[in-house]
Amino acid sequence: MRRFNVTGRCVSDKHYMVDISEKVLQIIAMIEQGDYFTINRARQYGKTTTLWTLEEELVKRKYTVARISFEGVGDTPFESEKNFCQNLLEQIYDELKWYKAKDASLWKDKSITTFKKLDVFLNTACKNKKFVLMIDETDKTSNNLVFLRFIGMLRDKYLERGKKDRATFQSVILCGVYDVRNLKVKLVKSGHYQLKDGEKRINSPWNVAANFKIDMSFSAPEIATMLNEYEKDHQTGMDIEAVSKELRAYTSGYPYLVSRLCQTIDEDLEKDWTVQGVQKAVRIMLYEKNLLFDDLGKNLESDKDFSDLLYDIVVNGRSYNYSMTSHAMEWGIMFGILRKQNEQVVINNLIFETIIYNHFITKKMIESVNVHRADITRTLPEEVIENNKLDMALCIKKFANHYYELYNGRDIKFLESECRLLFLTYLKPILNGRGFYHVESETRNRSRMDVIVDFGTEQFIVELKIWHGEQKHEKAHEQLIEYLNSKNKSEGYLLTFDFRRRRAKKPSAKWVRKGKKKFFDCLAV
């Protein structure tokens, strides 16, 4: 029986897989054009599975293919040109022998000990062949300088294609997390290389590479292809379209996240293939440890510029246009934490955004304890939760009172930038694994932020605003009603932070009904 897989390569007869045939065909079109390119995507993004699938299809089309990898080879192959050349030829020989290629033995040449000799060797070995070289895990070694010289040689051979007695690979595909032009950045950050005077952090010997624009994330229809296969085996009666869209909504199609949520539903949630089942799986995922989340945390802790950028986007609601010269943006995109959308950089998906919020919330809770010598949340869960139901109105009211007692008189600039984070900091321990929240990216800005809270079988919509006068407050009512309509909800919550200096009254709260909608309107002062 097939299962969902989140470790290593996916195999079609063992695992449920998204149909990536269209993506593979797009890659083959690049190969047929003779393109050299890099597939650099974040960890657990399906790169290795894509290469295996691509290799199988190319072999069917009579290409000569060698798919090699630097994972597990250690550092010895990168200590000298001789070691590298011999390891390269050995790996290619093993691949060609597997496919019983007639001239596989040609690659057992022990005399190839320099890149100059390798250059001459390739003129013969690649002559009159459609030879594709795939190199996986190009960033696994700590010393990439020898490798950089190797691809510099490949670049030179690429530029000389078509000359008499000159031959090389039809296509070369490099695959890893780091783009080749960022390998030097990795070496510098890891302490394995020091920049010389005037040397740039980024300069690439791979400037002949074509842009790889193929979207490797999974769309909702692509996710549905995997669920269709599952449904054939299990016949759960799921609404495949609805579940696929919900999976896409939380993950933005990040392959690992999609597969992990499906695995959780299948194995841990008694095959609850519903929209609510997806939300339960998300709740579980947000409290588990995995390498992907660990990497996200390490990047937040180790790079202040990157952390500040994410804080500004997530907490302050600032929008940033993409800039290729921004190290923090490039770093975030390379690790799949950020993505480009309409010329701007945004957080890749709702799950990452919640993880990032939780990171800053935890720091805020620690800071609050240190500064105020009191827990940030005096409200205990049992005060606002009864019979496993969350009383959101009471929760918001208690927060407003708590906020007034603890922060009244604090610096207004501080509060304007921190107020919404303070509310989430207050909310998080109340949910305490029984619920979770996410922030709607479409409404996150300096004046408005919509928070969706899932608790048990209920979903709460809370709009957070900053007071800008009565007229704007009425507009906030209209916005909330419009948003409730889009979510097919009849009830919502509005929490407004008032920073007027002459505040004569304490927090206020009341239920407001407009037509068929009602919402809890609370003013925190």
Helix (H, G, I), strand (E, B) or coil at 139: coil
State the first-to-last Cα distance of the chain, in angstroms, to the nearest integer.
Answer: 59
Instruction: Give yes or no for residue 331 having a pLDDT over 70.
Output: yes
Instruction: For 337-376, write each residue's pLDDT tens digit.
Output: 999 998 999 999 999 999 999 899 888 777 665 544 444 4
Give the structural domain span for 264.
220-285
Distance from C-alpha of 434 to C-alpha of 358, rounded to nearest angstrom: 15
**Contacts with 330 (C-beta within 8 Å, 6 or more apart), sequence order:** 182, 324
Is position 459 within any domain? yes
pLDDT of residue 117: 97
Residues 244, 138 share a domain:
no
Task: Using pLDDT thresholds of 50, 70 and 90, give the confidence band for residue 448.
Answer: confident
Task: Using pLDDT thresholds of 50, 70 and 90, give the confidence band for residue 446.
Answer: low
Pairing of strands 338-341, 320-321: unpaired
Cβ atoms within 10 Å, residue 43: 14
Is position 357 within any domain? no
Pairing of strands 491-497, 517-524: parallel
Q: Which helix (H) or strand (E) holds 274?
A: none
Residues 384, 267 share a domain:
no
Instruction: Give yes or no for residue 380 having a pLDDT over 80.
Output: no
The structure tokens listed for 211 are 């842009």
Instruction: Give yes or no for residue 123 having a pLDDT over 90.
Output: yes
Helix (H, G, I), strand (E, B) or coil at 319: coil
Instruction: For 146-171, write each residue's pLDDT tens digit.
Output: 888 898 999 999 999 989 889 999 99
Number of domains in the chain: 3
CA geometry: angle 239, 240, 243, nearest 5 deg: 85
Task: Using pLDDT thresholds of 50, 70 and 90, give the confidence band for residue 206.
Answer: confident
pLDDT of residue 374: 47
Is position 406 within any domain? yes
pLDDT of residue 323: 92
Q: Which helix (H) or strand (E) holds 520?
A: strand 517-524
Is position 113 within any domain? yes
Which of 75, 355, 337, 277 has the alpha carbon at shortest distance from 190? 75
Is position 75 within any domain? yes
Q: In this predicted model, which residue has the larger pLDDT, 481 or 383? A: 481
Residues 283-312, mean pLDDT to the nearest whole number: 91
In the 8-state DSSP scheme, what is residue 107? G
Distance from C-alpha of 38 to C-alpha of 56, rounded to nearest angstrom: 19
Residues 492-501, mean pLDDT to the nearest whole number: 87
Residues 189-202, mean pLDDT to the nearest whole number: 57
Decide: 196 and 354 in contact? Cβ < 8 Å. Answer: no
Buried b (16+ CB within 10 A) or exposed e, 123-154: eebbeeebbbbbbbbbbbbeebebbbebbebb
Cα Dmax for the chain: 89
Pairing of strands 435-439, 37-40: unpaired
Residues 144, 67 share a domain:
yes
Residues 114, 74 share a domain:
yes
User: Among 36-45, 173-182, 196-205, 232-241, which stretch is predicted with the lowest mean pLDDT?
Assistant: 196-205
pLDDT of residue 373: 43
Residues 147, 56 share a domain:
yes
Q: In this predicted model, which residue has the larger pLDDT, 143 or 29? A: 29
Is position 32 within any domain? yes
Pairing of strands 344-347, 320-321: antiparallel
pLDDT of residue 418: 78
Residues 138, 232 share a domain:
no
Q: What percent of the chain has pLDDT over 70?
A: 87
Residues 405, 464 share a domain:
yes
Is position 137 within any domain? yes
The structure tokens listed for 316 are 């302050």
Taking the CA atoms of 32, 33, 38 and 39 in sequence, report the sign of the dihedral they define: negative
Residues 230, 159 share a domain:
no
Q: Which of 261-270, 297-306, 415-424, 494-503 has the highest mean pLDDT?
A: 261-270
